[in-house]
Structure 1
């Protein structure tokens, strides 16, 4: 059924357009922000799941993420605009990235036999610059944040249709002044298959851990495989710690040797022998793009993206229709709890 003005759903001042997804602690919605003079802007609203809204630890973790992410201002980092609450449930309003994840980019390029090493290197190069900014970021009063993302992976990278890659999701980021100790809740933080060996073996994370994760990301989106063959997390962790990575050229004899050297440097088992920082990662990838086997102009890259994703409905998660979302919802400034009930 059609949704009239009187039955629109809101989270705070943000009109819900569609449900995007749900994670372990939070859920996300595509929303519309209205202003005077016909102003409209799409945003992503991420809010803590209602069942955790009274759990002090979960709320503090969510607020930590919003506070740390909100300080960051870089073209390769999805922006946080504000944090607020609706019906006692905290939420943050973030930049809406109109485009696919890097996972979707790889899958579409692979399916269409359009894998281009230089274009994919461009995406990773942009994220490397974003990470370098994150690792050197300071608080509003100039104190180093000591940020480590700890969850760099293709699914946490999006590419807008202007070709700009954006790093998302600072939910498990490490920082010197997090209010919730990173060890609370137990377990390793991040995805095992992208974790650095020092994190698995000793629980140590640093900017070099993020460099490693980005190196694995580059390996995955240029080969379609992980650098390890373990079938379980336990097997993967053993192989990662032992440094038993396969070479990209073992999977693809035509893999560019210049790019292979970069990948191997980024995922070196010994952090002291790894690519030293995101800026250097960006620099060597840009050289590969300009001079090596991955030659790619910006226009060629944009044309490639446009060919892979000719329309907005060729990427992204399918969302429940608004007619479904309106059932059981409320009107006006409807409660966040109503929104959840309507989309589940």
Structure 2
């Protein structure tokens, strides 16, 4: 293998970023979709065929979650099979622990909430991970944790796997007792491994470490977990996650709720660190890439037995699949009638929002409800409570905002605003909508959508997959290192850089068919596009690319469209050429309508 070699007539190898027991790991370029990917050869074990690998890979590709590394493809090149995944510049939790020693309890809990959410999504698709451990938890530069490397013990041979037997899978230090005893792994086994992973993070060593791997398996099978000495208020939750009996452990979703409770009271001090210069020096992208692409493979969950607890949807959260959560099921127009004639509009803006328009004569107000990813920092504002949920308040002369914090750290934002002269008490309307949303979520979290998105909708597209860092840097002048931030559901994406004033945004949108007021009409990639400066914000140029037309539930014409925005120093019209080029690039990657 060498740089510039083409795999499966599609994936061009760019650079070797590491190696392991399975072979060489490459950063590669997907020539068909013009994006960076991680690529690694899959060597099949005696018990797993290429047909099985492809079948399970299709299942894996269906798991879309911000805390799960996205699996794209199994590519055949001659007699070889290659695993194709999202490329995530990051460090594994194992690397961080090797460099820094044990972590503060609050940091560990925050990581645990995210990985529990990832496991909830995986289990919700009927999949068991089988190898949760620090090496398979990636920490990106923005602090987001991602779960990777699914089920390696059943699919491929690696230097970290104990056996290729279908009865024992995973790394010895993080096995559940029942797996060490020879029983098939279950969702409950993943929860135990999550607890063991968090134990290692807060204590600096796994719960069953010491001696050779067979001695470790024996200790694991006995199930006597030592008490975490440095976990503070996190210790009871870790004990619950690592109960000896699988039926006594919480589900992954419930584990996330337990980890989130009291998280603000946990200590944030960094404990004493071991000095390890080599560990500090391996924190580059290359080392992280090895962790990202250690062969991904999912194993279907065995048939449910009495020892396998049922997988539950998040009781008070977003649910296992954020894209399936329905913001319109959080709105109730009836309590808003005192503020105007209410109209629920489900086909406006991005797919994570729902609006209630209030009408008085020719004026209107808007009460907007939208679903958001877990915030990167603590929410600010005056805190109150609606039902079981904390609510944070903020307001300005033009609008009133309320943010509902869910137990899985996702958020529901309610915003009220109005036309001049409407004379609405914005915060009273917002509080009314918050009460309706909290009531709708009290029983089982955000309700799921009653109907799937239509075939070919942008809702099934990941905005971050439409452009890659190299193209954004070369075309729009976003200097390296380029940071990528994915929005809720993958429905918008930002490319920014600390070394540049330039940035790029791609976001999905629904609206009435655009006209001349949207911008200058041009043709880009066979689509109508409208280009305008300083409409999205000052010092920007945007192209609104019309993707598909449809009719909404009221019989009115609507379109799905993409906004491609470049920000930078004025004059803004200099930004329109790169906007058009980027829009043309992504137009070729959109599903055919």
Query: TM-score with structure 1 length normalisation?
Result: 0.69
- 1:226-261 per-residue CA deviation (whole Å, 9 max, x = no partner) reads 212541233222222222221111xxxxx2431111
- Residue 278 (str. 1) matches residue 237 (str. 2): no
Over 3 Å counting, the alpha-carbon distance change for 1:230 and 1:312 in structure 2 is closer
- Residue 95 (str. 1) matches residue 91 (str. 2): no
The structure with the largest strand share of the pair is 2
| Superposed counterparts of 1:148-163, under 5 Å | 148-163=128-143
Over 3 Å counting, the alpha-carbon distance change for 1:56 and 1:233 in structure 2 is closer
- 1:195-236 per-residue CA deviation (whole Å, 9 max, x = no partner) reads 111112241321110000000000011111121254123322
For residues 186 and 23 of structure 2, the distance between their equivalents in structure 1, rounded to whole angstroms, comes to: 25
- The DSSP-based 3-state class of the residue aligned with 1:166 is strand
User: Which gives a bigger RCO, structure 1 or 2 (Cα 8 Å, sep 6+)?
Assistant: 1
For residues 230 and 311 of structure 1, the distance between their equivalents in structure 2, rounded to whole angstroms, comes to: 26
| Superposed counterparts of 1:192-207, under 5 Å | 192-207=172-187
Q: Give the CA deviation at 1:40.
A: 4.5
Kept in 1: contact 2:151–2:170 (CA 8 A): no
| Superposed counterparts of 1:1-344, under 5 Å | 8-12=4-8, 13-22=10-19, 27-34=24-31, 40-49=34-43, 57-110=48-101, 115-137=103-125, 146-172=126-152, 185=165, 188-249=168-229, 255-274=230-249, 276-290=250-264, 292-294=265-267, 314=284, 316-317=286-287
Kept in 2: contact 1:147–1:173 (CA 8 A): no
- 1:112-132 per-residue CA deviation (whole Å, 9 max, x = no partner) reads xx8322123212210100101
Q: Which residue of 2 aligns with 1:327?
A: none
Kept in 2: contact 1:228–1:236 (CA 8 A): yes
Over 3 Å counting, the alpha-carbon distance change for 1:191 and 1:64 in structure 2 is farther
- The DSSP-based 3-state class of the residue aligned with 1:100 is strand
- The DSSP-based 3-state class of the residue aligned with 1:212 is helix
- 1:12-35 per-residue CA deviation (whole Å, 9 max, x = no partner) reads 322212224455556532112346
The structure with the largest helix share of the pair is 1
Q: Give the CA deviation at 1:315.
A: 5.1
Kept in 1: contact 2:202–2:231 (CA 8 A): no
Kept in 2: contact 1:228–1:239 (CA 8 A): yes
Over 3 Å counting, the alpha-carbon distance change for 1:185 and 1:248 in structure 2 is closer
Measured on the aligned residues, the alpha-carbon RMSD in Å equals 3.4
> For the pair shown, which has the larger CA radius of gyration, 1 or 2?
2
- 1:288-319 per-residue CA deviation (whole Å, 9 max, x = no partner) reads 322x22459xxx9xxxxxxxx99996354299
For residues 219 and 280 of structure 2, the distance between their equivalents in structure 1, rounded to whole angstroms, comes to: 40
Structure 1, unpaired ranges of 5+: 138-145, 175-182, 250-254, 301-308, 320-344
For residues 99 and 283 of structure 2, the distance between their equivalents in structure 1, rounded to whole angstroms, comes to: 13
Kept in 2: contact 1:70–1:79 (CA 8 A): yes
Kept in 2: contact 1:46–1:91 (CA 8 A): yes
Give aligned pairs, total. Answer: 272
- The DSSP-based 3-state class of the residue aligned with 2:73 is strand
- 1:69-89 per-residue CA deviation (whole Å, 9 max, x = no partner) reads 112111111112233322342
- The DSSP-based 3-state class of the residue aligned with 1:198 is helix
Q: Give the CA deviation at 1:56.
A: 8.7
For residues 104 and 209 of structure 2, the distance between their equivalents in structure 1, rounded to whole angstroms, comes to: 24
Query: TM-score with structure 2 length normalisation?
Result: 0.41
Over 3 Å counting, the alpha-carbon distance change for 1:65 and 1:108 in structure 2 is farther
Q: Which residue of 1 aligns with 2:300?
A: none
